[in-house]
Structures are given as structure tokens and as C-alpha cells.
Amino acid sequence: MDTSVSAPWTVKAHTVGMDNSAFSMEREGQQRAMLDLSGIGVRIDSVFNQKTRVRAQLKDVRAVQRDGVALTAMKGVAVLDSTETSLQGDISGQQTAGSACRQRRKRMSVT
């Protein structure tokens, strides 16, 4: 039996991207999806993943919710590990209700 301990695996990527994807999440017993996104686009630079630790530079994140709320631009730093989940950066979006359109830009920090 091999009892040696190996080093944790490490993944590094310079750029990761995805365009025009969709995601839907439903809660059991509900007829409508809780979250229904389309037009998802993501650009990530400098991804580092080792064991349970992930760090990535978000360069551009976009998506549209079914009700018309659109995330038009997001950039920042995402950090996930066994003790912390955080996202810090800038976010821009707009909401279309009927013919009205509201735009917002906000600096965010989520931990």
C-alpha cells in the first residue's frame, strides 16, 4: 500500500472565455425558474487553482435575466477557498421595464 503524500495539483491559465451561454436554476415545486440567464459572456485572465483555492481576474462578465435586468459589464477579482469566498470590483447594469430603461454603475465588495 502506497502511503506517500503527493503535492496538491495546480492549474494555471492565462485566459479563459465563454460567449453566448445560458443558465437556468429551478426550485423544486416552482413552475418558473428562480434564475434564468441568457447571453452569458465571460472573460477571465490569470486563473490560479490549487487544491481548494481559486483566484481569478474577471475582465468582462455579461448576462441578461429573463425579466430584462442585464449585467452589461463586470470586472474584478474573485477568490474562493475553504475559508473565504469574495468578489471585489466594478459592476454595470441596466433594467428595462416597459419603455423605461435605468442604468446603474456600482463598486462592489462581496465576502
Q: For the purposes of burial, counting CB atoms within 10 Å of the CB of 43, is it exposed (0-12), middle (13-18) or buried (19 or more)?
A: middle
> For residue 38, what pLDDT is reported?
94
For 79, how many CA atoms within 13 A lie in the half-sphere containing its CB? 9
**pLDDT tens-digit profile of 73-85?**
889 999 998 888 8
> For residue 8, what pLDDT is reported?
80
* Amino acid identity for residue 62 in this structure: R
**pLDDT tens-digit profile of 96-110?**
655 455 566 666 666
* Confidence (pTM): 0.66
